[in-house]
Amino acid sequence: MNIKKLTPLLTLLLFFIVLASPVSAAKYLELEEGGVIMQAFYWDVPGGGIWWDHIRSKIPEWYEAGISAIWLPPPSKGMSGGYSMGYDPYDYFDLGEYYQKGTVETRFGSKEELVRLIQTAHAYGIKVIADVVINHRAGGDLEWNPFVGDYTWTDFSKVASGKYTANYLDFHPNELHCCDEGTFGGFPDICHHKEWDQYWLWKSNESYAAYLRSIGFDGWRFDYVKGYGAWVVRDWLNWWGGWAVGEYWDTNVDALLSWAYESGAKVFDFPLYYKMDEAFDNNNIPALVYALQNGQTVVSRDPFKAVTFVANHDTDIIWNKYPAYAFILTYEGQPVIFYRDFEEWLNKDKLINLIWIHDHLAGGSTTIVYYDNDELIFVRNGDSRRPGLITYINLSPNWVGRWVYVPKFAGACIHEYTGNLGGWVDKRVDSSGWVYLEAPPHDPANGYYGYSVWSYCGVG
């Protein structure tokens, strides 16, 4: 639904109806409790300023699906104006309200539409995560830069908001030092050690962080954190709090966890992402299991720091996505669902079912009980809120079954919670902890999704 096409009166009526919703909390788990996140965009979403209203129209359905938070693209006016995806920030304080770079609205819409989106999400108990791009700026004017002996695009004195003006002294190299942890795309690299830049980015009540908080953002996704010190994120969170994750795109688990502990934020589990590609696209589950058992993923070293994903706006290499989503939504870590997977490419009902399983069953530590090239069976051992489960992933084109030892469920009735076996299936685990479990073929084109999930009978 495009709210812009409605009459002003109908738009206002719809707005107040939504805000009058009695919902005040996430349907299942809260964001801070490990609830499921929706990445609410992809690269080159439709332009024309319709995206904020489009996402707002999705909120009621996503609430019913159990989404706890939505991650929005960078909201500020970029160098590319109405074409920008936000990763080339020009005026941090222009959220679609000033005419500059050829447009008033951003690619996604106006500030007013963004605020209505956030208010609607909050009315449904859904948190909103801002994508924060503070490694660099883009779109400045040319000025003479004595530190490089040439002209550089570092003059930001003409930003329409009048806030966070900058010049060559605010970027590397300058009188403080030549550089920091990294540069991106050839854009001017912000020097975060300058008091002026700290003041306008996070360290004051006039800052960009304060501005985003004032319109309702609840959490932060920090872009390209390899480009600046982890202390920046830690200081940002000390000032403004909120759930946070960093994009540290690397497979070095020690480096990712070092950044996570120093910053105080979570981190995307890129090592797991690549191991899932190896396992599920190349029938090499032993490689994934080895990584999990030998601390080569974030989730296996510290699941409370791991944000797991199957695809995002930058990378989408896993093509066997059903087993990958079955894995991240039943394993440890906090999962993210990619917009296009949910809304366009995969069976939405299957993902909604897995969200329910994640929030109601998938608690506690993990024990892997069987694996080979095609099959993976693991047990979640439960916690104070969720009873635990057994996940059986099958990559082969055939029905499979196997006796497995699951002493946690000894003597219990267990139920299959996905419906992938063709109907209602209950089993009794014998008193010694053995049970025979099945999984369907991996053949999504013919309605077989290659996984089953079991837990105690009668949950939910």
Pairing type for strands 243-246 and 37-39 reads unpaired
C-alpha to C-alpha distances, 4 to 48, 52, 103, 117, 316, nearest whole angstrom: 11, 11, 17, 13, 32
What whole-number distance in Å separates Cα of residue 77 and Cα of residue 83?
A: 10
What percentage of the chain reaches a pLDDT higher than 90?
A: 94
Is a pLDDT exceeding 60 seen at residue 454? yes
Put simply, whether the predicted model's pTM sits higher than 0.85 gets the answer yes
Instruction: Please give the average per-residue pLDDT across 211-231, as a whole number.
Output: 98
The band of 9, judged by pLDDT with boundaries at 50, 70 and 90, is: very low
Instruction: Please give the average per-residue pLDDT across 203-219, as a whole number.
Output: 98
Instruction: Please give the average per-residue pLDDT across 425-435, as a whole number.
Output: 98
3-state secondary structure of 356: helix
* Residue reference for tokens 């190299």: 173
Is a pLDDT exceeding 60 seen at residue 5? no
Is a pLDDT exceeding 90 seen at residue 12? no
Is a pLDDT exceeding 60 seen at residue 144? yes
Is a pLDDT exceeding 60 seen at residue 317? yes
Cβ–Cβ under 8 Å, residues 180 and 194: no
What whole-number distance in Å separates Cα of residue 219 and Cα of residue 213?
A: 9
Is a pLDDT exceeding 60 seen at residue 225? yes
C-alpha atoms less than 13 angstroms from C-alpha of 155 in its C-beta half-sphere: 8
Instruction: Please give the average per-residue pLDDT across 347-365, as a whole number.
Output: 98
Which DSSP category does 124 fall into? T
C-alpha atoms less than 13 angstroms from C-alpha of 29 in its C-beta half-sphere: 21
How confident is the model at residue 442, as a pLDDT?
Answer: 97
Dump pLDDT digits (tens) for 259-276. Answer: 999 999 999 999 999 999
Is a pLDDT exceeding 90 seen at residue 67? yes
Domains observed in the chain: 23-138+180-360 (3.20.20.80), 366-456 (2.60.40.1180)
Question: Residue 417: exposed, middle, or buried by beta-carbon count in 10 A (0-12, 13-18, 19+)?
Answer: buried
Would you tell me the crossing angle of helices 8-19 and 111-123 to the nearest 10 degrees? 30
Instruction: Please give the average per-residue pLDDT across 351-366, as a whole number.
Output: 98
Instruction: Please give the average per-residue pLDDT across 341-354, as a whole number.
Output: 98
Measured in degrees and rounded to the nearest 5, phi and psi for residue 361 equal -125, -35
396, 402, 406, 412 alpha-carbon torsion, rounded to 10°: 110
Instruction: Please give the average per-residue pLDDT across 365-382, as a whole number.
Output: 98
The band of 18, judged by pLDDT with boundaries at 50, 70 and 90, is: very low
Dump pLDDT digits (tens) for 164-208. Answer: 999 999 999 999 999 999 999 999 999 999 999 999 999 999 999
How confident is the model at residue 165, as a pLDDT?
Answer: 98
How confident is the model at residue 23, as a pLDDT?
Answer: 64
User: Any idea how long the chain is?
Assistant: 460
Is a pLDDT exceeding 80 seen at residue 20? no
Dump pLDDT digits (tens) for 89-106. Answer: 999 999 999 999 999 999
Mean pLDDT over each residue of the chain, to the nearest integer: 95
Strand boundaries in 19-126, DSSP class E: 37-39, 69-71, 77-78, 89-91
How confident is the model at residue 460, as a pLDDT?
Answer: 80
3-state secondary structure of 359: helix
What kind and span of H or E run contains 117?
helix 111-123
Instruction: Please give the average per-residue pLDDT across 129-153, as a whole number.
Output: 98
Which DSSP category does 183 fall into? -
Is a pLDDT exceeding 80 seen at residue 19? no
